[in-house]
C-alpha cells in the first residue's frame, strides 16, 4: 500500500494513543514496587489492548477470504492492519515492561519482532516495487501467464529464424494461446503494444544466414526458455545489444528485420523476467510475514490462556 496523505488520520490517531500509553506507562514504571509486570492491572490492560490490536491486524487475512462481505472497504482494513499492527508492538512492549520474560514470551517477542520488521519491509517494498514495475516492465502481463507467453515468444522466434535460415530441427511444442503482454500503451514512445506476430514469409537463403542460425541456437533460444533462468549474454541489455549489433554487421540487409524482431522479442523476454523477479520481491516477504503472524497469534493466545489460568 502506498503511504500518502490519506493515512494522516491513522498516523495521528496511533501517535495520540501511543502518547497516551506512554503517559500511563512512565508513571506506572516509576511507581511500581517490583518494576513493571504483565500481570499488574496496567500491564494486563496493555497486554489486552495490544493483543486485541494484533488480532485485528491478523483479521485482515480472514477479511480477504470474504471480499464481498460489507464489513468495511478493503482500504480501511489494510490501513488498520498497518497502523494498528504497528501500534500493538509498543503496547506489547509496555505490557512486558521491555523484558523478554520466560521462554514462551521470549519466543513470542522474537516472533513479534520478525513479524513487525517483515511487515515494515513489505510496506517499504510496496512503496517502491509497483513504480519499478511500471517503469521497467511496460509490457507487464498477468503474472500467471508469463511462462506461456515466453513459450509463445520462442515459437514465433523459431518460425522467424526458420524462415530466414531454413528448418531449425528443434522441438517446438505448441504454445498455449494467451493474451499477450502489455495490452496497449500510450505515451510510451518506442515501446509499442506487444502483439502476436504474423507467420513470417520465407526469405531467400543466403550463406551468411548460418551466422544467425548459430547465434539463435546458442545464445537467443536458450534465453527464450521459460525454465532456464541464467544466461549471461542476453540477460545483460548492453551485451545483448552488442550481440545484435554484431549480427547486423555480419548479416546482409535482407536479414536485418529478422534481427530487429529477435531483439524486440528478447527485450520483451527480459521485461517478463524482470516482472517475475519484481513480483517475487513484492510478494516474497509474505512467506515470512503470514506464517509467523499466524504462529504469533496462536502462541499469543496460548500465552494469554496460560497467564490468566495459571
Partner 1 sequence: MSPGAAVKLTIDGRETSVAPGTTIFDAARGLGIEIPTLCHAQHQTPVGVCRVCTVEVKNNRVLAAACVRPAEDGMIVATATDGVQRARRTLVELLLSDHPSPCARQRATGDCELERLGAGYAVTTPRFGHHDASRGRDESSFFIAVDHTACILCDRCIRGCSEVKNNFVIGRTGKGHQAGIAFDTDVPMAASTCVGCGECMVSCPTGALTNRKIVDVDPPAGEEMSAEQLQKLDIFKRMSGTFLDLNRGAVVRRRFEPGEIICREGDFGSTAFYILSGKVQVSLATPMGHSSTRRGQPGGGKGFFRKLTELVLSDATPAPAAAAPRYIPIDASVDLELSNPVAELGAGDLFGEMTCLSFYPRSATVRAVEETEVLEMLRNVLQMLQKDKVFKALLDRRYRERALDTHLRTVPIFNTLSQDFVRRLRDRVELVRFEPGQVICRQGEQADSLYLIRIGFVKVSQAFPGGDMVLRYLTRPDYFGEIGLLGGEGVRTSTCTSLDHVEAVRIKAEDFHLMLREFPDIQTRLAEVAQARLEADAKQRQTVGTVQLDDFLSQGLMEAQNLLVIDLERCTRCDQCVRACAAAHDGVTRLVRDGLRYDKFLVATSCRSCRDPLCMVGCPVGSIRRHPDSLEIIIEDWCIGCGLCANQCPYGNINLHPFMVNAEDPEQPGMRKAVVREKATTCDLSRDYSEPACVYACPHDALHRIEPLKFFGIAK
Contacts with partner 1 by CB under 8 A lie at 1-2, 6, 60, 64, 66-71, 73-75, 77-78, 126, 129-131, 133-134, 138, 141-143, 179, 182-188, 279, 282-283
Residues whose CB falls within 8 Å of the CB of residue 122, separated by 6 or more in sequence, listed in order: 285, 286, 289
Q: Which is nearer to partner 1, 126 or 231 (CB)?
A: 126
Number of Cβ within 10 Å of residue 202's Cβ equals 10
What CA–CA distance (Å, rounded) separates 147 from 306? 50
Q: Which is nearer to partner 1, 44 or 123 (CB)?
A: 123
180 touches 152 (CB < 8 A)? yes
At 254, list the grid cell.
Answer: 535482407
Q: Which is nearer to partner 1, 4 or 171 (CB)?
A: 4
Report, in Å, the least distance between residue 73 CB and partner 1: 6
What CA–CA distance (Å, rounded) separates 214 from 263? 15
Report, in Å, the least distance between residue 194 CB and partner 1: 11
Q: Which is nearer to partner 1, 76 or 98 (CB)?
A: 76
At 264, list the grid cell.
Answer: 524486440
Q: Which is nearer to partner 1, 47 or 182 (CB)?
A: 182
Report, in Å, the least distance between residue 199 CB and partner 1: 22
In a 3-state reduction of DSSP, which class is residue 199? coil
152 touches 186 (CB < 8 A)? no
Report, in Å, the least distance between residue 275 CB and partner 1: 9
Q: Which is nearer to partner 1, 136 or 248 (CB)?
A: 136
Q: CA 114 from chain center: how many Å?
A: 18
What does the DSSP 8-state code read for residue 105?
H
Report, in Å, the least distance between residue 202 CB and partner 1: 32
112 touches 51 (CB < 8 A)? no
At 123, list the grid cell.
Answer: 510496506
What CA–CA distance (Å, rounded) separates 132 from 86? 26
What CA–CA distance (Å, rounded) separates 91 from 46? 6
Report, in Å, the least distance between residue 226 CB and partner 1: 18
Q: Which is nearer to partner 1, 20 or 134 (CB)?
A: 134
Report, in Å, the least distance between residue 91 CB and partner 1: 24
Amino acid at each position: 500500500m502506498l503511504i500518502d496523505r490519506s493515512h494522516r488520520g491513522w498516523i495521528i490517531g496511533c501517535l495520540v494513543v501511543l502518547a497516551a500509553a506512554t503517559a500511563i506507562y512512565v508513571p506506572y514504571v516509576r511507581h511500581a514496587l517490583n518494576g513493571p509486570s504483565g500481570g499488574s492491572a496496567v500491564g494486563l490492560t496493555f497486554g489486552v489492548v495490544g493483543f486485541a490490536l494484533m488480532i485485528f491486524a491478523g483479521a485482515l487475512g480472514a477479511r480477504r477470504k470474504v471480499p464481498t462481505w460489507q464489513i468495511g472497504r478493503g482500504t480501511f482494513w489494510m490501513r488498520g492492519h498497518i497502523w494498528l499492527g504497528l501500534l500493538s508492538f509498543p503496547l506489547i512492549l509496555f505490557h512486558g515492561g521491555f523484558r523478554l520474560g520466560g521462554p514462551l514470551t521470549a519466543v513470542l517477542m522474537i516472533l513479534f519482532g520478525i513479524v513487525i520488521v517483515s511487515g515494515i519491509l513489505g510496506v517499504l517494498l510496496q512503496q517502491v516495487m509497483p513504480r519499478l514495475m511500471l517503469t521497467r516492465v511496460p509490457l507487464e502481463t498477468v503474472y500467471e501467464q508469463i511462462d506461456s507467453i515466453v513459450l509463445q515468444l520462442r515459437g514465433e522466434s523459431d518460425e522467424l529464424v526458420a524462415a530466414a535460415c531454413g528448418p531449425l530441427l528443434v522441438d517446438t511444442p505448441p504454445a498455449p494461446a494467451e493474451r499477450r503482454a502489455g495490452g496497449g500503451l500510450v505515451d510510451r514512445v518506442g515501446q509499442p503494444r506487444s502483439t502476436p506476430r504474423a507467420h513470417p514469409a520465407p526469405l531467400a537463403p543466403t550463406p551468411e544466414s548460418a551466422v544467425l542460425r548459430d547465434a539463435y541456437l546458442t545464445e537467443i533460444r536458450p534465453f527464450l526458455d521459460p525454465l532456464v533462468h541464467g544466461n549471461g549474454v542476453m540477460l545483460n541489455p548492453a551485451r545483448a545489444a552488442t550481440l545484435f549489433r554484431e549480427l547486423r554487421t555480419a548479416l546482409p540487409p535482407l536479414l536485418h528485420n529478422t534481427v530487429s524482431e529477435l531483439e524486440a522479442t528478447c527485450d520483451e523476454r527480459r521485461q517478463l523476467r524482470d516482472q517475475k523477479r519484481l513480483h517475487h520481491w513484492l510478494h516474497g516477504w509474505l512467506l515470512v510475514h503470514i506464517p509467523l503472524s499466524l504462529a504469533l497469534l496462536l502462541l499469543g493466545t496460548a500465552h494469554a490462556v496460560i497467564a490468566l489460568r495459571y
